[in-house]
Each structure stands twice: as C-alpha cells, then as structure tokens.
C-alpha cells in the first residue's frame, strides 16, 4: 500500500471528466444538427409562404415568374438514385460474395483495398470523367448521372455487404455443403438468408449517399427541370440545382433553394434512419442465432 | 463552377465580416493617433475587398495587379462568386465594392444596409453564338432565327430560315443541338434579354439568369462548359463569351443588328454597341440590341457598385483612386482580354460621377 500511489481518487476525477467530454461531444453533434434544421427551415419559410404546398407538387421552376416547384428535382433525385442503386447492387453483391466466398486468401486484401480506394476519389473527378467520357455518348442525362452515382456508391455497399456476409456462421455453411449443396446453393441457402437484413440496410445507405451527391450530379445530369421516364432525357436533382443556381439567385429563389435543401435533408435522414434500423435489427438477429 | 465555391464563400464571408470589424477598428485608431491633423486621408496601408461578377473577374485581376504595383499602400482583392453574391455582400456591407452584371432588383433594394449606391460601368463584353457545323466557317444569323433555334422551333441546320441568311454556305441536314448554361449566369441573362428584345416576339422563354430551356438541350457549367459541349458535339450551337469562345477555337456567327447589318463580335464592335444605347441618370443601361451600323447586338456590361457615403474616409479615397484607374488607363487593357472598353461618352459620364463618392 505504501509504495503504490493511490490511483482511485484521480481515476474517479478522470472518469468524470471523460464522461463529461463524451456527453458534450455527443450533445454538440445533436445541437449542430438541430441548429441546421432550424435555421434552414426558417430561411425556407418565404418560399413556403409564397408557394404553399405547391412547392412540393408544382413542376414549374421559373425565376422570371417567381414560381418555384420542386417536383422535377425531387423526381430527378429519386430517379437517379434508383438507377444508381439498380446498377450498383449486382456489382457490389458480386464483389462482396467473391471476396468472402470465392477469392483465394492472397487476393482478398488487395481487392478490399482497391474497392475502398474508389471511395476516396473526389466526386468532382467522377463528375468530370462523366462529362468527358460518358456525356458524348449518353448525353447529360438521368442515366449518365445514375452511372456515375453507381460507381460512387459501389464501395459503400460492397464494404457493408462484405462485413454482413462475413458474419455467416461457418457451421451453417458447412451444414449446407454436408447436405450436398454446390457453392451457389450454399450461398443461396446459408449466406443470403442470414445476411438479408444487413444487405437491405447497405443498399439503403447507398441510396442515401446517391441522393445527396452534388457536384458529380450537377456536372452530368443535364440541368433541365423535367419529369421524364426515359433515362436518356436530361433532368436535374435537388443538390445539383442548389449548387448551380445559388450564385445568381434572387432572394425568393434563394429561399426556394434552401427549401430544396430542407426537403433533401429530411429525405436522406429518413432513408438513413430506416437503413440503420434494418441493419441493427439484422445484427441482433444474427447475434441471437 | 465558381458558384459552388460561392456557397462555401458566403459562409466564410460571415466569418470575415466579424473579423473585419475588429480590423477596421484597429485601422481607425491608427489614423486617429497618427494623422488626425493631416488633411489627406490616403496615407497608411488600406485594403479594399470586393466580390461578385465573374464576367469582369479577369479584368479585375489584371487591373488590380498593376494598380497595386503603382500604389503599394493599397491592397485590393476581388473574389468572384457571381453578380448575385456581389450585390448581396455589398448590401450586407461585407465587401467594400461589388462587381455586378445587373442592377439591384427592386425587391432587394430594401435590404441594402449602407445607404445610397452608385453604379460605375467599367467594362463591356460580347456574348458569341458559337457553333459546330461542317461546311460553315462563316454563319449569319438574325435574331428571330436565333430565338427559334434556341427554343427548339428550328431543328435542322438546313432550315430555310437559316439558309435565307447564308446563301453561299453548304449547310448539312444535321440536327441542331442547343447548348446552354447549367448554372445561373449573367451570360444567360444577357443572351435571353437580347432575344427578348430583338426577336420581335419570337422568343417565348423570357429572360433571367436561368430560364426554362427546352428539354432536349444540353447544359454545361460556366462559359467553358458550354464551349466544351459546342466543340465536342456535331451540330451544336451555344452562347459563350468572346474570350472563352476564342480560347476554345470555336466558330462564331455574325449577328444581324438593329440596323440590319451582320456584325462579327469583336472588341471594337462591342464598344460600338456602347455608343448606341440609352444610358439612365444612374448610369444603368442595357447594352443589348444597340443602335448603330457597327454595333454588335449581343453585348453585356458590368458595373462596380459602391456606396455613395464611405464610412471610412481612407477607404473612400482609395476606392476613388482605383475607380479612376479602372475608368482611365485600365480601359486600354480590355481588348487584349477580349473585352471591350467603354465608349468615350460613357467613360466621361462615369468619371464625372466619381465626385458623388464621399
């Protein structure tokens, strides 16, 4: 007792300090989020007062006539994100399954690095590549934007899918093989049912990322306020409109652009919340199993 | 692309504003201590900041550079961000002067915090109609044809309306691809104001920094982005400012002016447009569709906007010196930058207005 310093008192103080710091940091994040929501909503008020609910349902966006309807941009945001997810999911799932189930051990690490590397390429680089390489063939269109966004969300979906798939119990897989299953049958019988929830969550997170992408979308989507089903038509998405029009916007137009931002904010938060919920639930299930 | 930076910049501007207040207070104290007795307020270092129009940014950079060499005490900065941002920053008193291609809108006037403002025209510039068509090194276009092309009524290069102005050219039956700006832009504003004014009612899309273009058109970021579409797309036509059109080695059309002459966009023909316009008492005007045989009709202008009452006399004096330079010697640099100098009449009026800065 005599030779050893008494750490207990100090430890308690440090515990308290650290606890306070951690709570403070967590609260700060929430506070910032809340402040963003409040100020943005406040600044979007003029346009909501001017347009009413037409802001969400009108498909006319005219600076000249002070009519601001967000529908074409909501459509463009959702449509390009859906195209992106549709293109990215098969690739991501294939890569994740290859890495976890098929690839030899020496190839796994380099492959994971390579996919993760895609995630660190700045989005403007993808956007410019789209302008120079894709736009001459596909025009600036929903599809061009969808392809670029797909490339950008592949790493997110892949890495999440890989982690989820890796939690499949070895016993389940071996049981499938023991019953005479081929590798494909094993994947369908053991891996996919186990990981389903997590995979859906991964896809939703990719969707949220695709909806919020700004610069790449602004460069390749074509900037035309239209609701079209053809993926070869040009359109516009909410973040792209904000980026493109802010600099020269009049007062009411600025408010309308902030209104778009709030709409996007709410949409991405909802998508991400649902995604988190699904991922968490599937995690609990797999832990329980 | 600069508009994206503007979003960032406007938030940093808030920061700068709060920092600047402290700075000004410091400067004011210095002058009190040192030169309260002295009459001339221009001694000691002073810095002026500005933001706004990207149209005149290249001119501002060159002019500021040489002005600061001869006036080492005065430090000038011009951040772009677009005319809208410039007007907003001036209204919020975040900058000392603003560059803008258009006037304050009536609904925004109530928000100007620093009192009366003055407009100083500093530069004119041409917007070209650039195109990419085989067999047409030269092309003549009249305003109503132009309006019909850009709103999608004329869709083929061998349309009779185009052929009528170009009897000698062998125009192909290719489809016309219209290229326009994706970002809100003063160039779009100039071009659509021109079509609105000159096309005799053919133009239906109205005017503004963004308009509702037909849906089968192509959009690019900045003048460079539109130039890129035109140079890489067969059959494309787009509006691009003169310096970017030249840089991208595009062909551009001669446009029929108010006097019925087809005029090539050059520094001289743009200055000529400055002669044939009606200038209001506050020196605002629109340079599009100007009268005169030699005037190129799609011409834009850019102003420096300042407060008439300068709170800081040192800054006011420095601002006056810089504006004097801009309206005088700096005008000679403009043709080299593919801009056009102000015509003498306008230059004189602007110089006379300098006396109103106090």
Domain boundaries, chain A: 73-288
Q: pLDDT band for B17, please (50, 70, 90 cuts).
A: very low
B238 or B104, greater pLDDT: B238
**B222 touches A at CB < 8 Å:** no
**What is the pTM (predicted TM-score) of this model?**
0.78
Q: What is the secondary structure of B20-66 as a DSSP string? A: HHHHHHHHHHHHHHHHSS-S-TT-S-EEEEEEE-STTHHHHHHHHHH
CA–CA dist B100, B123 (Å, integer): 11
Pairwise CB contact (< 8 Å): A244 & B183: yes
Q: Are B230 and B248 in contact (CB under 8 A)?
A: yes
Chain B residues with CB under 8 Å of A60 CB are 212
pLDDT of residue B43: 60
Distance from CA of B300 to the nearest CA of A (A): 16
Chain A residues with CB under 8 Å of B206 CB are 62, 64-65
pLDDT of residue A287: 60
Which ranges of B36-139 does DSSP label H, i.e. alpha helix?
Answer: 57-70, 83-91
**B105 touches A at CB < 8 Å:** yes
Is pLDDT at B34 greater than 50 in this prediction? no
Percentage of chain B modeled with pLDDT above 90: 65
CA B82 to chain centre: 10
**B101 touches A at CB < 8 Å:** no
The rounded mean pLDDT for chain B is 86
Four-residue CA torsion sign, B351, B353, B356, B357? negative
CA–CA dist B84, B208 (Å, integer): 12
Distance from CA of A225 to the nearest CA of B (A): 7
B319 or A1, greater pLDDT: B319
Q: pLDDT band for B107, please (50, 70, 90 cuts).
A: confident
Mutate to test the interface with B, among A248, A251, A261 (most CBs of B within 10 A): A248
Task: List the single residue in B with minimal CA-CA distance to A214.
Answer: B4
Secondary-structure class of domain A73-288 per CATH = mainly alpha
Is pLDDT at B2 greater than 70 in this prediction? no
Q: pLDDT band for A276, please (50, 70, 90 cuts).
A: confident
Pairwise CB contact (< 8 Å): B184 & A64: no
Is pLDDT at A279 greater than 80 in this prediction? no
A242-266: per-residue pLDDT in tens? Answer: 999 887 787 889 999 999 999 999 9
**B47 touches A at CB < 8 Å:** no
Please give the average per-residue pLDDT across A156-181, as a whole number.
91
Closest to A81 measured CA to CA, from A214, A197, A201: A214
Please give the average per-residue pLDDT across B3-23, as a whole number.
43
Is pLDDT at B11 greater than 90 in this prediction? no
Percentage of chain A modeled with pLDDT above 70: 94
pLDDT of residue B10: 46
Which of A65, A218, A248 is opposite residue B82, by nearest beta carbon? A248
Pairwise CB contact (< 8 Å): A243 & B3: yes
pLDDT of residue B149: 96
CA–CA dist A221, A148 (Å, integer): 10
Pairwise CB contact (< 8 Å): B207 & A64: yes
Please give the average per-residue pLDDT across A177-194, as a whole number.
92
DSSP annotation of A188 reads: I
pLDDT of residue A8: 59
* Angle, CA of B90, B96 and B101, to the nearest 5°: 55
Pairwise CB contact (< 8 Å): A245 & B210: yes
Which of B105, B211, B218 is opposite residue A139, by nearest beta carbon? B218
DSSP annotation of A150 reads: H
Task: List the single residue in B with minimal CA-CA distance to A218.
Answer: B182
Q: Are A160 and A198 in contact (CB under 8 A)?
A: yes
Is pLDDT at B295 greater than 70 in this prediction? yes
Strand-pairing partners, residue B181, are B220
* Angle, CA of A112, A114 and A120, to the nearest 5°: 110
Strands B46-52 vs A61-62: parallel, antiparallel or unpaired: unpaired
ipTM of the complex: 0.72
Distance from CA of A75 to the nearest CA of B (A): 15
Is pLDDT at B32 greater than 60 in this prediction? no
Pairwise CB contact (< 8 Å): B108 & A234: no
Is pLDDT at A109 greater than 80 in this prediction? yes
A72 or B42, greater pLDDT: A72
pLDDT of residue A4: 62
- Token pair in block for residue B172: 């192909």
pLDDT of residue A148: 96
Q: Are B172 and B165 in contact (CB under 8 A)?
A: no
pLDDT of residue A5: 61
A11 or B98, greater pLDDT: B98
Is pLDDT at B14 greater than 80 in this prediction? no
A154 or B107, greater pLDDT: A154
Distance from CA of A223 to the nearest CA of B (A): 5
Pairwise CB contact (< 8 Å): A247 & B111: no
CA–CA dist B161, B166 (Å, integer): 9
pLDDT of residue A239: 95
Is pLDDT at B28 greater than 90 in this prediction? no
Distance from CA of B183 to the nearest CA of A (A): 4
Q: pLDDT band for B237, please (50, 70, 90 cuts).
A: very high
Closest to B305 measured CA to CA, from B90, B72, B5: B90
pLDDT of residue A138: 87
Is pLDDT at B40 greater than 60 in this prediction? no
Is pLDDT at B278 greater than 60 in this prediction? yes
pLDDT of residue B150: 96
Pairwise CB contact (< 8 Å): A244 & B2: no
Q: What is the secondary structure of A13-50 as a DSSP string? A: HHHHHHHHHHHHHHHHHHHHHHHHHHHHHHHHHHHHHH
Residues whose CB falls within 8 Å of the CB of residue A107, separated by 6 or more in sequence, listed in order:
none
- Token pair in block for residue B153: 């009524």
Pairwise CB contact (< 8 Å): B182 & A63: no
A195-220: per-residue pLDDT in tens? Answer: 888 899 899 999 999 999 999 999 99
Q: How many CB pairs under 8 A join A and B?
A: 101
Q: pLDDT band for B6, please (50, 70, 90 cuts).
A: very low
Closest to B218 measured CA to CA, from B187, B182, B179, B176: B179
Mutate to test the interface with A, among B212, B225, B227 (most CBs of A within 10 A): B212
Q: pLDDT band for B80, please (50, 70, 90 cuts).
A: confident
The rounded mean pLDDT for chain A is 90
Is pLDDT at B4 greater than 50 in this prediction? no
pLDDT of residue B257: 94
**A137 touches B at CB < 8 Å:** no
pLDDT of residue B31: 39
- Buried (b) or exposed (e) across B18-36, using 16+ Cβ within 10 A? eebeeeeeebeeebeeeee
Residues whose CB falls within 8 Å of the CB of residue A217, separated by 6 or more in sequence, listed in order:
A80, A127, A145, A148, A149, A237, A239, A240
CA–CA dist A81, A85 (Å, integer): 6
B156-176: per-residue pLDDT in tens? Answer: 999 999 999 998 888 999 999
Which of B210, B225, B232 is opposite residue A63, by nearest beta carbon? B210
């Amino acid at each position: 007792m005599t030779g050893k310093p008494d750490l207990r008192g100090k430890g308690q103080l440090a515990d308290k300090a650290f606890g306070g710091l951690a709570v403070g940091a967590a609260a700060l994040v929430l506070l910032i989020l809340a402040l963003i929501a409040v100020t943005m909503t406040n600044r979007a008020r003029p346009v909501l007062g001017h347009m009413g609910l037409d802001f969400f349902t009108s498909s006319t966006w005219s600076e000249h006539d002070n009519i601001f309807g967000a529908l074409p941009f909501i459509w463009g945001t959702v449509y390009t994100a859906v195209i992106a997810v549709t293109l990215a999911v098969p690739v991501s799932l294939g890569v994740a399954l290859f890495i976890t189930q098929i690839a030899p051990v020496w190839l796994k690490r380099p492959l994971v690095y390579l996919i993760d590397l895609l995630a660190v390429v700045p989005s403007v680089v993808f956007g410019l590549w789209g302008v120079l390489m894709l736009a001459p063939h596909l025009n600036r269109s929903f599809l061009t934007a969808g392809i670029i966004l797909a490339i950008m969300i592949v790493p997110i979906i892949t890495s999440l899918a890989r982690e989820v798939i890796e939690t499949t119990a070895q016993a389940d897989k071996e049981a499938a093989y023991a019953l005479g299953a081929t590798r494909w049958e094993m994947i369908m019988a053991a891996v996919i049912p186990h990981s389903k929830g997590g995979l859906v969550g991964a896809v939703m997170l990719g969707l949220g990322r695709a909806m919020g992408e700004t610069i790449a979308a602004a460069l390749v989507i074509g900037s035309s306020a239209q609701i079209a089903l053809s993926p070869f038509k040009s359109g516009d998405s909410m973040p792209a409109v904000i980026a493109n029009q802010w600099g020269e916007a009049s007062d009411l137009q600025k408010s309308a652009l902030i209104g778009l931002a709030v709409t996007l904010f709410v949409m991405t938060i909802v998508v991400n919340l649902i995604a988190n919920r699904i991922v968490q639930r599937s995690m609990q299930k797999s832990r329980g199993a | 692309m600069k508009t994206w930076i503007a979003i960032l910049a406007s938030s940093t501007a808030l920061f700068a504003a709060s920092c600047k207040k402290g700075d000004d207070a410091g400067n004011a104290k210095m002058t009190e201590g040192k030169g309260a007795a002295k009459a001339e307020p221009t001694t000691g270092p002073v810095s002026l900041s500005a933001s706004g129009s990207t149209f005149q940014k290249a001119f501002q950079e060159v002019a500021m550079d040489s002005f600061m060499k001869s006036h080492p005490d005065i430090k000038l900065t011009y951040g772009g961000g677009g005319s809208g941002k410039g007007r907003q920053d001036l209204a919020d008193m975040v900058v000392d002067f603003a560059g803008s291609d258009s006037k304050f809108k009536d609904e925004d006037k109530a928000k100007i915090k620093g009192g009366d403002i003055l407009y100083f025209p500093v530069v004119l510039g041409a917007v070209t109609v650039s195109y990419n068509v085989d067999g047409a090194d030269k092309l003549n276009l009249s305003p109503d044809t132009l309006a019909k092309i850009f709103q999608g009524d004329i869709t083929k290069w061998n349309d009779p309306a185009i052929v009528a102005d170009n009897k000698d050219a062998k125009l192909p039956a290719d489809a016309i691809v219209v290229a326009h700006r994706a970002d809100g832009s003063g160039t779009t504003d100039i071009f659509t104001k021109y079509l609105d004014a000159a096309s005799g009612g053919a133009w239906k899309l109205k005017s503004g920094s963004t308009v509702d273009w037909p849906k089968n058109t192509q959009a690019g970021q900045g003048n460079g982005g539109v130039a890129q579409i035109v140079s890489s797309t067969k059959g494309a036509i787009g509006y691009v400012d003169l310096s970017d059109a030249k840089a991208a080695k595009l062909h551009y059309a001669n446009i029929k002016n108010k006097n019925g002459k087809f005029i090539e966009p050059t520094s001289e023909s743009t200055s000529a447009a400055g002669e044939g316009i009606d200038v209001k008492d506050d020196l605002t005007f629109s340079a599009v569709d100007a009268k005169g045989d030699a005037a190129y009709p799609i011409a834009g202008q850019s102003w420096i906007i300042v407060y008439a009452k300068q709170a800081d006399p040192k800054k006011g004096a420095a601002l006056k010196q810089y504006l004097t330079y801009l309206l005088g010697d700096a005008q000679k640099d403009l043709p080299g930058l593919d801009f056009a100098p102000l015509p003498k009449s306008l230059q004189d009026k602007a110089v006379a207005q300098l006396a109103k800065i106090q």
